[in-house]
Amino acid sequence: MRRVHISMVRPGEKLARPIMRENGSVLLGAGVELSERFIERLRNLGIDVVYVEDDWTHDIIPEEVIRQETYQRAVDTIYRTVGSLLDSPANKGRAAVPDLGRTFRQLFGEIMHDLLQCKDIMYNLANIHVSDAYLFQHSVNVAVLAGIMGMAKGYNRNQIEELGIGALMFDIGMIRVPKELLHKKSPLTPEERAVIEKHTTEGFDMLRVQHDIPLVSAHCALQHHERYDGSGYPRGLKGQEIHEYAQIVAIADVYDALTSPRSYRNRYSPSEAIEYLFGAGNTLFDLELIKLFCRHISVYPVATTVMLNTGQIAVVTANNPLAVHRPVVRILREADGRPVRHPYEIDLQYDTQLMIVKEL
């Protein structure tokens, strides 16, 4: 399979990976043939990339750090939980929701079970979803990234669980933000920005009254917009005043937000997002945490379609953990645009004259 921008998809091509609705159920399944109508519908749903089947790349299958079933169950759990919170007195007052902590402890346990099965964890962008699913799938992505970070930091089981619960629920205060503000394409007014920024304290207030959610997990909601240099909100904390769990969640939050399509901008590629994070080292984020985070990110995820400096078109077939910017690629088209007769692979780690110039 290969991962391509929606503008490069041609009628008759088949999906190689399913596209999910906001609750984690399948909107279009793998194997569906894409017609002009389907392609246009996907564009209207805010989907900018898809995985398609290809005779030359049929053996290229991105390794997932968690199983598809686990991911879909996690998204569905968050979707249903948000619904119950909206319907409960907790949305108006400060009442506790029964078993909230147990639900998310069990959910993150399933995510961790899958992560522990991976030999060398390299996070790939794999799941495609409609834009309305952003809140739910974003929370799962952040929890997966935070879990990877917790393992890399050498946290014990209890610490990873506290971090994971906080990561799954860190953005829960966003349910109090009017939808029109979340999807606004023009710049926010100072008053609108103040409404959105309240989601940190709103989320903390919702979580701190839950008797089975650790208070330190609730602080992920409160502090995930604090910044290392003190420029964040709501309290302007700096450096080690920010809990390390919240710092980890903040990095995962920004990375996943940058690499997801938004109503007001195009998505960043993983390499562009990593460049942004490194540029923010010891200003917005702790540089040592960024270095640790980036060691577990696929800069060019397997199945990504890329262009080389020669003009050749290729698909990434494998990552080099010790040289993440120089993966193994399979050449599909030569520099003059003609398809190759027999695709062949190049390991960019050893061919230093070649480099990736952009993703397609």
Residue 154 shares a structural domain with residue 53 = no
Q: Once rounded to an integer, what is the mean pLDDT over residues 136-152?
A: 92
For residue 302, CA distances in Å to 156, 157, 282, 317, 329 come to 31, 30, 30, 5, 9
B/e letters for 298-320, b = 16+ CB within 10 Å, e = fewer, are bbbbbbbbbbbeeebbbbbbebb
User: Which residue, 237, 262, 294, sits at the end of a domain?
Assistant: 294
**Per-residue pLDDT reduced to its tens digit, 26-54:** 888 999 999 999 999 998 888 888 999 99
Q: Is the pLDDT of residue 121 over 80?
A: no
Domain harbouring 40, CATH code = 3.90.105.10
**Dihedral angle of Cα 323, 324, 326, 328, to the nearest 10 degrees:** 100
Nearest to 285 by CA among 324, 254, 325: 254
Residue 84 shares a structural domain with residue 121 = yes
Separation CA 162–CA 141 (nearest Å): 16
Q: Is the pLDDT of residue 265 over 80?
A: no
Residue 84 shares a structural domain with residue 173 = yes
pLDDT at 226: 98
Q: Once rounded to an integer, what is the mean pLDDT over residues 228-250?
A: 97
pLDDT at 90: 47
**Dihedral angle of Cα 118, 121, 122, 126, to the nearest 10 degrees:** 40
Q: Once rounded to an integer, what is the mean pLDDT over residues 329-354?
A: 94
Share of the chain above pLDDT 90, in %: 59
| Any domain includes 273 | yes
Residues in the chain: 360
Domain harbouring 94, CATH code = 1.10.3210.10
Domain hosting 114: range is: 68-294
Which residues are paired to 358 by β-bridges? Answer: 307
User: Which residue, 263, 294, 325, sits at the end of a domain?
Assistant: 294
| Any domain includes 299 | no
pLDDT at 187: 86
pLDDT at 147: 95
Q: How many structural domains is the chain composed of?
A: 3
| Any domain includes 309 | yes
